[in-house]
Amino acid sequence: MTKRTSAKYKIDRRMGENIWGRPKSPVNKREYGPGQHGQRRKAKISDFGLQLRAKQKLKGYYGDLTEKQFRRIYAEAERVKGDTGENLIGLLERRLDAVVYRAKFVVTMFAARQFVNHGHVTVNGQRVNIPSYRVKEGDVIEVRDRSKQMTVLLEAVQLAERDVPDYIEADHSKMKATFVRQPGLSDVPYPVMMEPNLVIEFYAQN
């Protein structure tokens, strides 16, 4: 179980945004940050501050990845041919936990990581319990038979707060999804604006 599950809404509060678009987010009621100094007047943010915030927001969105994990993904995005920002988003969306979340098998990104960790998912018929496993185009992700009646699954499928994006084909009657293609930034249904260009600036200067 991820160390951040119990404190996931602190990320929302720290960013001042409902980054997962969830109705229970405390930002819907309190826009100021967490902690005793959260209500202080906000100072003007420097360029470095904006870049850092963009990185923390994107990193937090995917279950609050560690800095080491996130930097490794960024380094790979930089090596691959094409736009680094688009590559970064595409690589993040190819994580197995992200695909499980996008397919609406679970309610949150944190739950997706736990769901994969506990061995409830197969990729092309093979059990995979590594959330960072990278899926490829055409891969079929399926919930294992013994897990298909879990309450968390049934609740997630019925959620009206988000839809399955078009780069994933999901069949909820069979609890199966196919990863169609690697998406770009404009394809991903983020509830808030993500700015991978600022993430690139951050790493370029630090």
Position of tokens 């100094």? 37
More confidently predicted of 12 and 79: 79
* Interatomic CA distance for residues 126 and 142, integer angstroms: 9
Give the per-residue pLDDT at 161: 75
The answer, yes or no, to whether residue 74 has pLDDT greater than 90, is yes
Q: What is the pTM of this model?
A: 0.83
**H helix and E strand count, the chain:** 8, 5
Give the per-residue pLDDT at 183: 98
165-187 pLDDT, tens digit per residue, is: 999 999 999 999 999 999 999 99
Give the per-residue pLDDT at 36: 54
Assign 206 a pLDDT band (cuts: 50, 70, 90). confident
CB 115 within 8 A of CB 95: no
CB 138 within 8 A of CB 181: no
**Which tokens go with 70?**
């996130």
* Interatomic CA distance for residues 72 and 74, integer angstroms: 5
